[in-house]
Amino acid sequence: MLGTRGSSLGSKLVLVIDNHSQRTDSGRRFPVTVRLVTRLVLVLIACSWLFLYLDSIHQRRRAESLIGDLRSLDFATAGFSDIRDLVIRHGGVPPSCPGQDCTFIVWINTRLAQPPFPVEKRTVEVLYSALPYIGVHTWGLGAMFVVRNGKLEGSQTFIAENRIDRLEPDYPRRLIPFGYEVQTVLSDSACRGGHQGVTISHGHPVKFPIKVLHTCVLQTERTSTKRAFDINLRCLNGIFRGCRYDELSPSAWADYSAKDGSNGASVPYK
């Protein structure tokens, strides 16, 4: 009788010890699991940042190469084959055109300039507000060339960074492209605004708000386009803040400041 009772007590004691051991092992495994998951999340964030940052640098160098070719291009004499070769060289796909009347487009952009999947407006605003603080900017460069009868009739080159900003101090914060645009034309009347020179455009405050420094130059042998294509893209990889007009397009901003009489003091941060 005593032997049976002692055996029963012994088995209960072993069961209690075993349960305690399992709880202890589970308690030890939980912090280890949390640490492992935390490390994996941090590694994923670091790898994502590195990928986006390196992609921005790669796309910036592609854009700098295109701008270098545009700076040396003779717009006054450029023909169909010149533009076609330039577009192919920088990753554009020439469209099928009847004869030598064609519109060529080159587009260079960072990964997040055009999200590959649907994203809510609020998520986009938070994303574009936070990324510049870690040196990741979302931007794109587009170049369009219109060729008619085998000759370059006009072009537009646009570089813009997506940022969350106010169009005016009393306007709400929203997504606003900020950048610089060069337009080349055959006559003054074809310029935006009806004359060549440097202007600032704010677009439509509701439908399409933008902050763009715009330059229009003539495609003539007597007019150089090199100054218009004085574009510095290094600010697109800056940390904490985006580009300013005087950094992105120093020559055009100097021309605008001289005309405006502001000496570069009033608007470059906007």
pLDDT at 50: 86
Task: Please name the residue that has the structure tokens 């606003």.
Answer: 176
pLDDT at residue 162, rounded to an integer: 85
Residue type, 2: L
Q: What is the DSSP letter of 240?
A: S
Q: Is residue 144 part of a domain?
A: yes
Could you list the pLDDT tens digit for every one of the 270 residues in the chain?
444 544 554 555 445 445 555 555 555 565 778 778 888 888 887 888 888 888 888 999 999 999 999 999 999 999 999 999 999 999 988 888 877 789 999 999 988 776 666 666 667 677 777 777 777 888 999 999 999 999 999 999 999 988 877 776 777 777 788 999 999 999 888 888 777 888 888 776 666 778 899 999 998 888 888 999 999 998 888 777 778 899 999 999 999 988 766 544 444 444
Strands 151-165 and 208-218: unpaired
Establish if 5 belongs to a structural domain. no
Supply the DSSP string of 135-182, one letter for each residue: T--EEEEEEEEEEETTEEEEEEEEEEEEEEE-SSTTSPPEEEEEEEEE
Residue 47 lies in a domain: no
Per-residue confidence (pLDDT) for residue 206, from 0 to 100 = 65
268 three-class SS: coil
Phi then psi dihedrals of residue 32, to 5 deg: -65, -40
Residue 18's pLDDT is 55
In a domain, 41, yes or no: no
**Number of structural domains, the chain?**
1
pTM of this prediction exceeds 0.85? no
* Residue 156 belongs to a domain: yes
| Residue 229 belongs to some domain of the structure | yes
Count of CB atoms situated within 10 Å of the CB of 124: 16
pLDDT the model gives residue 17 = 47
- According to the model, what pLDDT value does residue 175 have? 78
- The domain in which residue 128 lies consists of 60-260
Q: How far is CA 254 from the centre of its chain?
A: 24
38 located within any domain = no
CA dihedral 206, 209, 215, 216 (to 10 degrees): -40
Residues in the chain: 270
pLDDT of residue 181: 95
